Amino acid sequence: MLPAHARLTRRPEFASTIRRGRRAGRSSLVVHLDLTRPGGVPEHVPPRAGFVVSKAVGNAVVRHRVTRRLRHLVADRLDGLPSGAALVVRALPPAGRASSAELGADLDSALRSARRPRRPRAPTGGAG
């Protein structure tokens, strides 16, 4: 289970993570990972996670099942994130039909991609 101190709970926390974080999408979910520590956040602050599961995923029973699965999967992976990191996992409609193993594979892949350093953009060549 994801402990209370490791959860994002306020709307501004979600908005900041989605706006500033690196995004990586997969077939059943999208992760937003913000590795930057805002000013004044001590080193010992644990990483935190939040979940967005909309009605597009399914009815209340399906949404809660998806949220529980994601919470369990993220709890196992939270220790691998640096202190002060913020993670938002947004479930897409296929998450309602995905197994826990499929969600776990998509989560691992998306986290790897979001943690990968950005490549510098190639200069755009203008038509001459």
pLDDT at 116: 85
Fold assignment, 24-115? Ribosomal Protein S5; domain 2 (3.30.230)
Strand 48-53 vs strand 22-25: parallel, antiparallel, or unpaired? unpaired
User: 3-state DSSP call for residue 23?
Assistant: strand
What integer is the mean pLDDT of 114-125? 74
| 83: Cα within 13 Å, side-chain hemisphere | 6
Is the CB of residue 9 less than 8 Å from the CB of residue 87?
no
pLDDT at 33: 95
**Does the structure show a pLDDT above 90 at 50?**
yes
CA distance 89 to 28: 10
Tell me which DSSP letter residue 53 carries.
E
pLDDT at 37: 65
* Helix boundaries (H) for the chain: 11-20, 60-77, 100-115
**Does the structure show a pLDDT above 70 at 127?**
no
**Does the structure show a pLDDT above 60 at 18?**
yes
pLDDT at 40: 55
pTM: 0.85
Residue 91 main-chain phi, psi, to 5 deg:
-80, 140
